Every structure is written in C-alpha cells, then in structure tokens.
Amino acid sequence: MTENDETKSKKTKKKAETKSENNSFFSGISSKIVPLENKAITGLIDNFILDLTGSFTVFLGKKANIVFDSVQFYSAEDSSLEKKAAILSSFQIATLTQNGLVHFDFPFMHSAIDILYGASGPANGQLMSQLGKAGGHIAEKFTQYVLASFQSALQEYKQTTLTHLLTSDHASIILNKYLPDYYFELLFKVDLNGASGQFSVIVPEALFEEIAQDKTLEQPAELQRKRRPANEKLKKDIIDSTITLIACLEGTTLKIKKIMELKSGDVIAIKDPTDVFLVHNNKRLFKGTAGQSDAKRVVQVDETL
C-alpha cells in the first residue's frame, strides 16, 4: 500500500466514525456503528426473518431456522466479503442509486445442496470449495427468496422494488462493480437439517438512514392502531382457509417389467400399512399411524416432518 493509499484509507475510516457520532440512532461499538436502537430497523429484521423462514422451509422441504446474528458498518475500502463469500449476488434498489448484495457462505450452500439432492442428515465430510454451475443456479434461487422477503419487510417502511442483477462465485466481479461506498451488513445464522451456515444482506447506508429517520415512525401507538385491522384480517383469513391433506402409505419400488405384467388379483408387498404420511402438494407434512375410531378410519399424527 502506498503512502497516499494509506492516508486515503485512514480518512475513509475517520469519516465513517464521524458519521456514527452525527446520527443519534447509531451506537458506537468497537469503532463500528450498529443501528439497533431504532425500532424500524429491528422491526424490518424481524419481519424479514419470519417471511424468509417460511420460504426456505417450503423450498427445501426441511425446517429452516434463521437467527439474526449481527449488523456491522463498513466502507468499501475495509470490506472483507471477498475472503468469506462462497457466492455473491447483486441487486438493484429502485429508489436508490447504489445497489445491495446477498452473500452465502460455503457451509450454507453445502447443507442446502445436500438437502436438495436427497441427503437425509446434516452435511458432513469435506466441505465443498467450489459450487459449479448447478450450485450457482441454487444460489440464485435462494437470492430470489431473500430479495422477495426483504422487499416484503421493507414495504412497511419504504415502498421500493428489489431486482436481482448478477450472481457469481467470483467475488471480485461483484464487488468491483456493485459494492456500495458505505454499507451495513446484516448477518444471519441458519440451521438447515442440523447443519449450520450463514448468509448476509448488504444494504447501502442511505437505505437505513431513510428508514430510521422517517418521522412517521416516531408514533408507534398510532401505527399499531393502523396495523391491527390488517393483522386481524390476515389472521382470520388464515384460520378460515382450508387445504387438502392426502393420507399415503410408504412407497414401494417395482421394476417396470413387473408393473407392465400386473393384473387384477395380483398382490404387491408394502411396508407396515399402519405407517401413514399426510401429504399436501406432494410434500410430506406429518407422519402418523393408521387406525379406527368408532366407525371411522383415522390417522394419529406422530411426527411433524
């Protein structure tokens, strides 16, 4: 690093620290600024996690547990994303000139790919070091879920649209073109089928400043009164809705030749007929035991899948 580069870097960090002192909704922690005193920011994070947990769970067919870990403030000069990112995606924020990023680490991608390709337990063995074309497509799909949930969470505070731009496992391609000058990195930990991983959402500083300084957010009681009817209506709609569950026996495997030869009266061996799965949209939701109550055939739910 030349003397001029070093001087520039020091000025940039000094500027970041000065900005933290000039914004009352920031708290100085270890020379970084953390906007967690503002209820709009914490509400945004909570709503994002709630929505994204459901999306990840449905997509993977396995329960995903997402927990907020931390938020840090960086300038483009002191970013560490290139060292820790397995794959990066950039996205456009319609109402801002700067873009945002989504980063997934290798443990997250390893666990997700294992699940999608039929692994039954936590990711184990040697951790993958390259994703390949298929891994890139899977990362794009996860990015779409992240952006949809983040945009949905934003709507309460700011009307905007998030559009996916580019996904690459070559971090420099993304960072050289799309990394904001100053940004917040929201880091989340994820448990996927017993294996842990991380991902983060990188947003320009300007986005959080707009949300946190919105004057309408200084009236929580009034906002709660406005939200209550919508929340109650949503809850009622959910409670009154219905879905169809299909009770299915465990599957069995037969050669095509055998199936072609089947005729009326033939017997097919199956596993324990009392083991039943309750299925919706080809997804197994519950495992149970078949039985009888009075004159009705019933299924007792033993396990949530």
CA distances from 216 to 153, 204, 212, 225 (A): 17, 21, 10, 13
The verdict on 140 and 283 lying in the same domain is: no
* Model confidence pLDDT, tens digit, residues 114-166: 888 876 544 555 655 566 777 788 889 999 999 999 999 988 888 889 999 99
The verdict on 291 and 189 lying in the same domain is: no
Indicate the average pLDDT of the chain. 75
Query: Is 70 exceeded by the pLDDT of residue 87?
Result: yes
Looking at residue 199, its pLDDT comes to 92
The verdict on 275 and 296 lying in the same domain is: yes
Residue 305 makes CB contacts below 8 A (sequence gap 6+) with: 277, 284, 285, 286, 287
- Select the more confidently predicted residue: 92 or 196: 92
What percent of the chain is modeled with pLDDT above 70? 70
- Select the more confidently predicted residue: 37 or 266: 266
Looking at residue 14, its pLDDT comes to 44
The verdict on 223 and 260 lying in the same domain is: no
Say which residue the tokens 């994002």 belong to: 48
The verdict on 141 and 189 lying in the same domain is: yes
The verdict on 86 and 235 lying in the same domain is: yes
The verdict on 31 and 10 lying in the same domain is: yes
Looking at residue 301, its pLDDT comes to 81
Q: pLDDT band for position 27 (50/70/90)?
A: very low
Domain hosting 279: range is: 244-304
Q: Residue 195 and residue 192: Cα distance in Å, rounded?
A: 5
Looking at residue 188, its pLDDT comes to 94
The verdict on 229 and 253 lying in the same domain is: no
Query: Is 90 exceeded by the pLDDT of residue 92?
Result: yes
Q: Residue 46 and residue 152: Cα distance in Å, rounded?
A: 12
The verdict on 258 and 150 lying in the same domain is: no
Show which of 215, 239, 263 is a domain's final residue: 239
Show which of 186, 206, 239 is a domain's final residue: 239
> Contact at 8 Å (CB) between 59 and 112?
no
The verdict on 275 and 172 lying in the same domain is: no
What's the mean pLDDT in 261-273? 77
What's the mean pLDDT in 257-280? 78
Residue 84's CATH number = 3.40.1550.10
Query: Is 50 exceeded by the pLDDT of residue 31?
Result: no
* Model confidence pLDDT, tens digit, residues 217-252: 444 444 444 444 545 555 555 566 676 778 877 777
The verdict on 179 and 275 lying in the same domain is: no
